[in-house]
Amino acid sequence: MDLYPLLNSLRIAAISATVVFFLGIAAAYYIAKCPRIIKGILDVIFTLPLVLPPTVVGYLLMLLFGPRRPVGAFFLDTFGVKLTMQWWSAILAVTVIVFPLMYRTARGAFESFNEDLASAGRTLGLSNTYIFWRIRIPACKQGIIAGVVLSFARALGEYGATSMIAGYTPGKTATVSTAVYNLWRTGNDELAFKWVLINIAISAVVLLCINLVEKPYKRRSG
Amino acid sequence: MLYADFEKQLDLFTLRVHIEWDQGVFSLFGASGAGKSMTLKCIAGIEKPDRGVIRLDDKVLFDSAKHVNLPPQKRGVGYLFQDYALFPNMTVAGNIKAGLHRLPRRQRDLKAAEFMERFRITELADTKPARLSGGEKQRVALARIFASEPQVLLLDEPFSSLDTFLKWELIPYMKEALQSFSGCSIMVSHDLDEVLSLCDSVSVIQKGVTEPAVDSGAFSEQIKEKLQHAGLYFDKGIIKHD
Optimal mutation site among B41, B74, B79, interface A, most CBs of chain A within 10 A: B79
Residue A127 with chain B: CB contacts under 8 Å: 73
Is B101 in the A-facing interface, judged by CB distances under 8 Å?
A: yes
Note the pLDDT of residue B221.
85
Note the pLDDT of residue A143.
87
Note the pLDDT of residue B182.
87
Number of domains in chain B: 1
Q: What is the DSSP secondary-structure string of B198-220?
A: H-SEEEEEETTEEPPPEEHHHHH
Nearest CA in chain A to B75: A123
Note the pLDDT of residue A218.
47
Nearest CA in chain A to B96: A124
Domain of A188: which CATH number?
1.10.3720.10
Determine contact, residues A145/A214, Cβ cutoff 8 Å: no
Is A186 in the B-facing interface, judged by CB distances under 8 Å?
A: no
Residue A141 with chain B: CB contacts under 8 Å: 89
Domain of B235: which CATH number?
3.40.50.300
Q: Do A126 and B89 touch (CB under 8 A)?
A: no
Q: Do A123 and B46 touch (CB under 8 A)?
A: yes
Q: Phi, psi at residue A140, to the nearest 5°?
A: -100, 15
Q: What residue numbers bound the domain in which B85 lies?
A: 2-241
Q: What residue numbers bound the domain in which A208 lies?
A: 4-221
Residue A140 with chain B: CB contacts under 8 Å: none
Is B167 in the A-facing interface, judged by CB distances under 8 Å?
A: no
Q: Do A123 and B78 touch (CB under 8 A)?
A: yes
Q: Phi, psi at residue B102, to the nearest 5°?
A: -80, -15
Number of domains in chain A: 1
Note the pLDDT of residue B238.
56
Determine contact, residues B37/B54, Cβ cutoff 8 Å: no
In this prediction, the residues of chain B whose per-residue pLDDT falls under 50 are: 242
Q: How far apart are CA A215 and CA B90, in angstroms?
A: 21
Specify the pairing of strand B209-210 against strand B214-215.
unpaired
A128-149 burial, b for 16+ CB within 10 Å, e for fewer?
eebbeebbbbebbebbbbbbbb
Note the pLDDT of residue A216.
57
Express as a percent the part of chain B with pLDDT over 70.
96
Choose the closest CB to A124 out of B71, B99, B130: B99
Q: pLDDT tens digits for chain A (222 residues)?
A: 789 999 999 999 999 999 999 999 999 999 988 889 999 999 999 999 999 999 999 999 999 998 888 888 888 989 988 899 999 999 999 999 999 999 999 999 999 999 999 999 999 999 999 999 999 999 998 889 889 988 998 999 899 999 999 999 988 999 999 999 999 999 999 999 999 999 999 889 888 887 887 665 444 443
Is B104 in the A-facing interface, judged by CB distances under 8 Å?
A: no
Average pLDDT taken over every residue of chain B: 90
